[in-house]
Amino acid sequence: MYNNIMRHIISNILILLSLSSCFLLKEQLSTTSNLHINKGDIVLTSLNARDVHSINPQTLENKQLSQFDRITDRGRGLFWNKNTYELLVVVDGRDRVEAISAIDGSSRDFIIDGNLNGTIRGMTQLDTGEYLIIESNGLERFSQAGLRITGGGWPLNLSGAGYQVSTLTNGNILVCVGGAIDQVQIRDPSTGALLFSDNGPGGHNPTGCKERSDGTIAVSFNGGTDQVWLYNDDLSVGSAIALNSNLGNIMSNPQGIAIAENDNIYVSDATHNHILELNSNGELIRAFGVLSYASDIIVID
């Protein structure tokens, strides 16, 4: 009995220490500005460099967060894990997901699985805590511990090349699918079943898609007429709000999309190597930052 009581006491102490640690990390992120990754930072990957950068949207300070070991490695997808205060980077090359600590910049392999052997790009976390990773033309599902989940429709065949994926406020999956079908899609988080879709401008790859706080969905389309669209919450109504030609031809290769705290739209451009900030009407607020062949983009919240 004594041993059982001691184990119970020790277990409670460990839980309290864990909760205290989480509280301190949250406090650090909200009150300091000298961490490796800070709240409000814009984080980008590059398609032709093996590093990940952050840009402070106020000071425009550009900081390298990580450089991958192998020369063939490329960061292709990003996700901010609020629970562990780590930046998760989908790395194509030695295919894996790498976790970078916001506190000290240390990194660790988070997911390594032999089934991630194609072109891996975007990543998101479902409300259940499970992760989705784009792998070539499909979506792979992993547990919180990084274990691959199969069955019940998973892995999911997207029938086209997946680009960016995120989780909507209502829990559904938002994914950009290019290649053979060129669609913005909303899917059921349990089964992966297609709920809503739209093709946007014909012949254009939807390379970035993200929900804004008002429920509208911003999508970047890459093609003959590079443009950004704004959709309603079920993709039934959508139209272009910004065209490259209307922006002075400075958005000629749009890639990922992220949403600013004020709901403005950040678009990474892989030709001009900068970030465009647009308002809800598609008006250019500014172009800033420099990262060679900018690809996926997120805002640390």
Per-residue model confidence as pLDDT tens digits over 14-28: 334 343 444 444 444
Give 167-185 pLDDT, tens digit per residue.
Answer: 999 999 999 999 889 999 9
Tell if the pTM clears 0.85, that is, is over it.
yes
Least confident among 13-22, 101-110, 223-232: 13-22
Q: Quick one: tokens of 287?
A: 């172009």
Residues 266, 46 contacting (CB under 8 angstroms): no
Provide mean pLDDT across the span 37-64.
91
What strands lie across the sheet with 86-92, from one edge to the other? Answer: 74-81, 86-92, 96-101, 107-111
Q: Does domain 37-299 have CATH number 3.50.50.60?
A: no
SS3 11: helix
Q: Quick one: tokens of 269?
A: 């451009």
Q: What distance in Å separates the CA atoms of residue 154 and residue 165, rounded to the nearest whole number?
A: 16
Residues 189, 173 contacting (CB under 8 angstroms): yes
Residues 227, 244 contacting (CB under 8 angstroms): yes
Least confident among 15-19, 229-233, 246-250, 274-278: 15-19
Query: H helices then E strands: how many in the chain?
Result: 1, 25
Domain regions of the chain by residue span: 1-31, 37-299
CB atoms near residue 122 (< 10 Å) = 25
Count of positions (residues) in the chain: 301
pLDDT at 2 over 90: no
CB atoms near residue 163 (< 10 Å) = 26
Share of the chain above pLDDT 90, in %: 78
Q: What does the DSSP 8-state code read for residue 244? A: G
Q: What is the mean pLDDT of the chain?
A: 89
pLDDT score, position 179: 86
pLDDT at 215 over 80: yes
Share of the chain above pLDDT 70, in %: 89
Q: What does the DSSP 8-state code read for residue 87? A: E
Is residue 165 very low, low, confident or very high in pLDDT (cuts 50, 70, 90)? very high
SS3 105: coil
